[in-house]
Chain A
Amino acid sequence: MDVVIHQPLRLKIMAALYSARSNGPLEFTRLKALVGATDGNLGSHLGVLEGAGYLRLEKDFVNKKPRTQATITREGEKAFRQHVEHLKEVIAVAEHII
């Protein structure tokens, strides 16, 4: 199991970025609303995921306002898929035992 992804908020962040990957990066404010996080909380978890190489953060300015965008990396996509498979396996094994 991937302990980096398994943390509930990080799992939601990865799910959002994975779902939006064909449309490009997600802006910080949009991501915050989608996963139901606060600014500080989201920032720290994005840092952890970036450190693990699962996402890429890009910072720029739009109309003189700072903008942060996050994109899932290939490594992140692979790790997320594997984690989802693992969760499904846990359920399948538990049901098999019962």
Chain B
Amino acid sequence: MTISKAEAASALTDIEDVRRRTTSAVEYERASPLLIVWGVVWLLGYFACGALPINLWGLAWLPLVVLGTAASIRVGSRASKRESRLAQEHSLGRALLATICITAFLICVGMVIGPIQSDGYMVLPALILGLAYTLVGLATLPRLAWIGAAIFVCTMAGYWLARPALPYWVAIAGGGGLIMGGFWLRRV
């Protein structure tokens, strides 16, 4: 059995199309549980900010971040069980580096702009998160761009329209956005 050049080209196009869709689906599947984990952390953390005085915010966030990190490592190790140990260490290293970069960025923003009001502390991480997801989505996975843009817009809407209930608004916009986004990523 022989095939023509046109048939071969058509078959290669089909292969490339399926390869692209499968790669995206696999990446979305890996990202999905991480978004859900951090959505829950976000939701609980900002609800705690709404319920507690500002001097206790750190105490509320610390155990949540530790739990979120532990859950992420567990999810990541499950997802990469077929990857080499070296690849797993690289993934963990990148995650830690990203956390350090975000923390350093927030500290620097505080130093450059001056003391940030409590509303700013609530809104800024959500805006950074929204921007980061939008940029990653534009570069690789389009659905992340939609999730990031939705979080960004909802957060700013809360900042302008719902200032008295801001922590709860940010909890639902950011945390809810991540959780819903995580479930959306599971759909092919």
Contact = CB atoms under 8 A, between A and B. Distances in A.
B1 A87 contact: no
B12 interface: yes
A87 B83 CA distance: 30
Interface in B2-21: 2-5, 8-9, 11-12, 14-15, 18-19, 21
A22 to B, nearest CB: 6
Given A90-B5, A90-B8, A91-B12, A34 B23 contact: no
A11 B13 CA distance: 11
A91 B11 CA distance: 11
Interface in B118-159: none
A3 interface: yes
Contacts of B26: 19-20, 23
Chain B's interface size range is 20 to 34
A1 B124 CA distance: 58
B25 interface: yes
Contact of B12 (A24, A35, A84): A84
Interface in A4-40: 6, 8, 11-12, 15-16, 18-20, 22-24, 26, 29-30, 33-35
A34 B17 CA distance: 10
Chain A's interface size range is 20 to 34
Contacts of A60: none
Main secondary structure of the interface of B (DSSP, over half): helix
B5 A95 contact: yes
A18 B15 CA distance: 10
Contacts of A62: none
Contact of A87 (B2, B8, B23): B8
A42 to B, nearest CB: 13
Given A6-B3, A22-B83, A30-B188, A87 B12 contact: yes
Contacts of B83: 22
Interface in B59-100: 79, 81-83
B103 interface: no
B25 A34 contact: yes
Contacts of A87: 3, 8, 11-12
Contact of B14 (A3, A11, A18, A90): A11
A23 B79 contact: yes
A74 interface: no
Contacts of A3: 1
Interface of A: 1, 3, 6, 8, 11-12, 15-16, 18-20, 22-24, 26, 29-30, 33-35, 84, 87-88, 90-91, 94-95
Interface of B: 1-5, 8-9, 11-12, 14-15, 18-19, 21-23, 25-26, 29-30, 79, 81-83, 188
